[in-house]
Amino acid sequence: MLPINPDRLSYYFTTLCEIDSPSRGESRLSSYLQDLFTDLGAAEVFEDNSQKHTGSDCGNLIIRFTGNRPDVDSIFFNCHLDVINPCMGVKVRRIDDVFYSSGDTVLGADDKAGIAILIEVIISLLQGNIPFAPFELVFTTCEEIGLLGAKSLSPGILNSRFGYALDSTGIDNVIIGAPASYGVTAEFFGLAAHAGLRPESGISAIQLASQAITKLSLGKLDHETTANIGTITGGTATNIIPDYVRIDGEIRSHNLNTLQATIEQFRQIFQTTISNWKITNDPISSFPHIYLSFPEQYPLMNLSLESLPILHTQKAAASLSRSLQCKLAGGGSDANFFNSFGLPTAILGIGMDHVHSVNEQIKLSDMKRTAELIYTMLTL
């Protein structure tokens, strides 16, 4: 029987969830964790200087434990400090084995369950005087608003060769792949005119954008690729032909060739919409015109089944007489950037459910099960 203490795990999880830590406001949680891990004897506890890039009120938090098994490789574990809105004033409810919020906020299991699990594992190792591998903890900021903390992390700051992000739904699963994602921004510039007196003098940016959107392939494009237009902004009044509209979206794919082909398809549709208007109406006019950008949001994650994190976690699971299922994810996480840095990183399912909603929940038994796996990974 592994010495994971469910009551202590419950205490730390509840405490963490009730510390406000919105994106760009993670400093209270970071300070709490710095004090906690210093008291637990961490060799190093420090923040990086990523806040100048992220706009957070603190940097990414790095913690090192040297362990007492110098013969084995160091491992890093990653969680994010921030919680998606509504996240202020969380009050945790527990009914039997399941944690909920009071119903007007998210719970914050995404990703404070991961942090609580790591705290419990460390205390269990220290109290039992158990030999364990050296490890590092990387707690990032601003994950929920674009993985900004991980994107701003300097990979040379870490000693570990591989690691794990504790940041997925489900239990007994390992995420080995996640899509790359590019943003889609199209700004249409038309000409304003009075909609009642001289509508023929205007060029409706909203109409042009609508024509383009109807030609785009959206939703699930194939088993690896999705595309979406998420926001449309523009116009000033009902009696003015709108001279500006902006649409924003994204394209994700596990296949980089398909992703680039989809971007090019979007680009051609947008530009052809403008060209067709000019051909029909005024080929020499500078209006309408369009500004396009497709910024990378996060890189592709694609782990081999023979990579260090997969082999190590499978070995730990086998010693617990468990089997883990390797899966692909539909969204990005900090692990996308760690992998792009040359640090193989798998994502572990920790049991959180209904994330990004006020119905978010997690079972204590699932957190305990994940803690047992990580405890075993550090003591193999």
Q: What CA–CA distance (Å, rounded) separates 70 from 66?
A: 8
pLDDT for res 284:
86
> What are the backbone dihedrals phi and psi of residue 206, each rounded to the nearest 5 degrees, phi first?
-65, -40
Give CA–CA dist 267/286, Å, rounded.
Answer: 19
- Catalytically annotated residue among 143, 187, 360, 372: 143
Task: Please tell me the predicted confidence (pLDDT) of residue 334.
Answer: 98
Q: Which of 26, 82, 111, 136 is catalytic?
A: 82
The residues spanned by each domain of the chain are: 6-178+300-379, 180-297
Is 146:334 a contact under the CB 8 Å cutoff?
A: no
Q: Half-sphere exposure of 31 toward its Cβ, with a 13 Å CA cutoff?
A: 9
Backbone angles phi, psi at 27, to 5 degrees: -65, -35
Structure confidence by residue, pLDDT tens digits, 303-343: 999 999 999 999 999 999 999 999 999 999 999 999 999 99
Q: Do domains 6-178+300-379 and 180-297 have the same CATH topology?
A: no
Is residue 1 over pLDDT 90?
Answer: no
For 289-309, the pLDDT digits (tens) are: 999 999 999 999 999 999 999
Give the gyration radius of the chain's Cα atoms: 24
Q: Which CATH class is domain 180-297?
A: alpha beta
What are 293's two structure tokens? 């950008």
CATH architecture for segment(s) 6-178+300-379: 3-Layer(aba) Sandwich (3.40)
Asked if residues 17 and 112 have their Cβ atoms less than 8 Å apart, the reply is yes
pTM of the entire predicted model: 0.93
Q: Where are the beta strands (DSSP E) in 224-266?
A: 225-234, 244-253
Which of these, 2, 20, 18, 21, lies nearest to 10 by C-alpha position? 18
Q: Decide if 360 is catalytic.
A: no
- What's the maximum distance between 2 C-alpha atoms anywhere in the chain? 83
Can you state the percent helix, strand and coil of the chain, rounding each to 5?
A: 35, 30, 35
The answer to whether the beta carbons of residues 175 and 349 sit under 8 Å apart is: yes
Buried b (16+ CB within 10 A) or exposed e, 228-247: ebeebebbeeeebbbbbbeb
Residue that the structure tokens 């098994």 belong to: 69
Q: With bands split at pLDDT 50, 70 and 90, how would you rate the model's confidence at 71?
A: confident
Q: Cα(333)–Cα(347) distance, rounded to whole angstroms?
A: 9
Token pair belonging to 312: 């190590």
| Residue 149 and residue 63 in contact, taking contact as beta carbons nearer than 8 Å | no
- Of the candidates 235, 297, 291, 239, the residue with the CA atom closest to the CA atom of residue 267: 291
**CB contact at 8 A, 33 and 2:** no
In DSSP terms, 225 is beta-bridged to 222, 253
Write the pLDDT tens digit of every residue in 26-62. Answer: 999 999 999 999 999 999 999 999 999 999 999 999 9
**Is 167 a residue of the active site?**
no
Q: What was the pLDDT predicted at 70?
A: 80
Question: Do 25 and 55 touch, CB atoms closer than 8 A?
Answer: no
Span 225-271, pLDDT tens digits: 999 999 999 999 999 999 999 999 999 999 999 999 999 999 999 99
**Tokens 């921030």 belong to residue:** 82
